[in-house]
Amino acid sequence: MNTESGRRQKTASGRRRRVPWLVPGILVLSLCFPLPATSPFAGEESKSDWQREWERTVKAAEAEGQLVIYSLSEVGEVFLRSGFQKRFPKIKLVSVTARGVELVSRIMAERRAEKFLADLANLGNTSPYRLYQAKALDPITSAFLLPEVSDGSKWWQGKHHTIDPESKYIFVFVGAPLYLVGYNSNLVNPKELKSYWDLLNPKWKGKIVAFDPRAGGFAATRDRFFYHHPDLGPQFLKRLFGEMDLTLYRQYPQGEDWLASGKFFLCLCRHQSISEAKNQGLPVDLADPMLFKEGVGVESRAKTLVLMNKSPHPNAAKVFINWFLSKEGQSDFQKISTKYVDAGGEGSLRTDIPKDDIPLRNRLLPGIRYIPQWAPEMFDMKPIEKAIDEGLSQAGKK
């Protein structure tokens, strides 16, 4: 073998020996520094199905140019001040605000006139259930495009939370302890209250003011908790409204004002009104629900989201749903809620978001017996109303 031929063979042999080291090196680099899906160097073929669908939907939403949300007032304010408009500047966000029952009446009247104006709605708890029963909704879960939104493991108890029996129409995105009892801090030692049955102590007869159950809103949540709790039930409701000579009111903050003045000792009224009165320096406070042996109810604080069927801007609705329920959107909601929600901030049910900016009283803590108040069977108010009516009739107040 001549010298030149030997050199060529050695060189080729050297190349063959070095090639096996080259492939693992490339693999390591590609794993450590992957190209982002949106990189201009990433070809269309490298994108997953959901990425292509998401980009198509965003483009179509920008062409629609608008999104209309019917909402409760404080939540509508949060929507408008959210980062959605900054993230998607070509989609104008319009919020129509009122009470839930008023918005439902408006939606149904519009639909009877063949007008379909709302894309999404935040209406509380009972009101969206009426829309579900009227078959005015599309499954909100059908709009989930982002994997982090579809993944239920990112949420409290490792699942998505919904109100409807089919678990796909009325999405619950906030969970907070249910405060049911306010008290005059000059007249009541809250340590006297260890069970909700203590509200039936004769010493409180004629000294309790309560938001009227026929006015809905907070009262519906309160009475659902009492009625469906296995340790309380319809008998508790009948006795509460039949034996305790309750004074009922329908306009906030009338009951809270009476409580602060000392006219009443206890108030079965919404936590926001009590918190506002306390912040004003009035002698009122909320009984910590952890004081009661029956456990702590968890309410949605009226933070639910539904997708209207025959939506005029279906792609914009999908974009908002996915952004809002993402980690970014829910973090944004939490931050803004500390300024614009009565309770001083409410925690998302997403568990991958820190809750440091949420008041301790509004957080769900480990080791507590929590009882969610959005099971579908709870939303039939007829048996609850019947138990209350029997109590009021007994008291001569019906």
CA of 287: how far to CAs of 188, 256, 263, in Å?
10, 14, 18
Q: How far apart are CA 318 and CA 141, in angstroms?
A: 10
The answer to whether position 92 is within a domain reads: yes
Of 217, 101, 162, 131, whose CA–CA distance to 376 is shortest?
A: 162
The answer to whether position 39 is within a domain reads: no
Q: Which stretches within the chain are classed as H helix?
A: 3-32, 49-64, 73-81, 84-87, 100-112, 126-133, 147-150, 218-228, 233-243, 254-261, 271-279, 314-324, 327-340, 382-395
Higher pLDDT, 13 or 359: 359
The answer to whether position 195 is within a domain reads: yes
The answer to whether position 183 is within a domain reads: yes
Query: Exposed/middle/buried for 112, CB within 10 Å: 0-12, 13-18, 19+?
Result: exposed
CA of 55: how far to CAs of 190, 311, 315, 319, in Å?
55, 20, 11, 10
Q: Write down the mean pLDDT value for the chain.
A: 88
The answer to whether position 89 is within a domain reads: yes
The answer to whether position 4 is within a domain reads: no
Query: Exposed/middle/buried for 281, CB within 10 Å: 0-12, 13-18, 19+?
Result: exposed
Lowest mean pLDDT among 4-18, 221-235, 253-267: 4-18
Grouping H, G, I as helix, E, B as strand and the rest as coil, residue 350 is: strand
Tell me what pLDDT residue 113 has. 97
**pLDDT at residue 110 above 90?**
yes
Q: What is the mean pLDDT of residues 177-193?
A: 96
Tell me what pLDDT residue 81 has. 92
What DSSP string runs through 140-153?
Answer: GGGG--SHHHH-GG
Give residue 190's pLDDT band: very low, low, confident or very high (50, 70, 90).
Answer: very high
Tell me what pLDDT residue 341 has. 65
The answer to whether position 10 is within a domain reads: no
**pLDDT at residue 345 above 80?**
yes
Q: How far apart are CA 340 and CA 342, in angstroms?
A: 7
Q: Highest mean pLDDT: which of 13-27, 126-140, 213-227?
A: 126-140
Same domain, 340 and 390: no
Phi/psi at 211 (5° precision): -65, 130
**pLDDT at residue 88 above 90?**
yes
The answer to whether position 375 is within a domain reads: no
Number of separate domains in the chain: 2
Tell me what pLDDT residue 45 has. 58
**pLDDT at residue 334 above 90?**
yes
**pLDDT at residue 12 above 70?**
no
Same domain, 145 and 220: no
| Structural tokens at position 18 | 């070095």
Supply the DSSP symbol for 345. Answer: -
| Structural tokens at position 311 | 């939506």
Tell me what pLDDT residue 26 has. 38
Same domain, 76 and 158: yes
Tell me what pLDDT residue 343 has. 59
Same domain, 310 and 291: no
Are 182 and 259 contacting, i.e. CB atoms less than 8 angstroms apart? yes
CA 183 to chain centre: 27
Mark 261-280 as b/e (b = at least 16 C-beta within 10 Å). eeebbbbbbbbbbbbbbbee
Are 67 and 96 contacting, i.e. CB atoms less than 8 angstroms apart? no
Tell me what pLDDT residue 162 has. 96
Same domain, 290 and 312: no
**pLDDT at residue 320 above 90?**
yes
Same domain, 97 and 195: no
Tell me what pLDDT residue 82 has. 94
**pLDDT at residue 8 above 50?**
no
114-165, pLDDT tens digit by residue?
Answer: 999 999 999 998 899 999 999 999 999 999 999 999 999 999 999 999 999 9
- Structural domain including 141 reads 48-174+301-364
**pLDDT at residue 28 above 80?**
no
Same domain, 325 and 196: no
Neighbours of 96 (CB within 10 A): 15
Q: 324: domain CATH number?
A: 3.40.190.10
Are 327 and 372 contacting, i.e. CB atoms less than 8 angstroms apart? no
Tell me what pLDDT residue 303 has. 94
Same domain, 285 and 332: no
Mark 144-182 as b/e (b = at least 16 C-beta within 10 Å). bbbeebeeeebbbeeebbbbbeeebbbbbbbbbbbbbbb
Strand partners, 295: none
Same domain, 220 and 123: no
Grouping H, G, I as helix, E, B as strand and the rest as coil, residue 209 is: strand
CA 11 to chain centre: 68
Give residue 393's pLDDT band: very low, low, confident or very high (50, 70, 90).
Answer: very high
Same domain, 257 and 387: yes
Same domain, 144 and 208: no
Same domain, 290 and 315: no
**pLDDT at residue 34 above 80?**
no
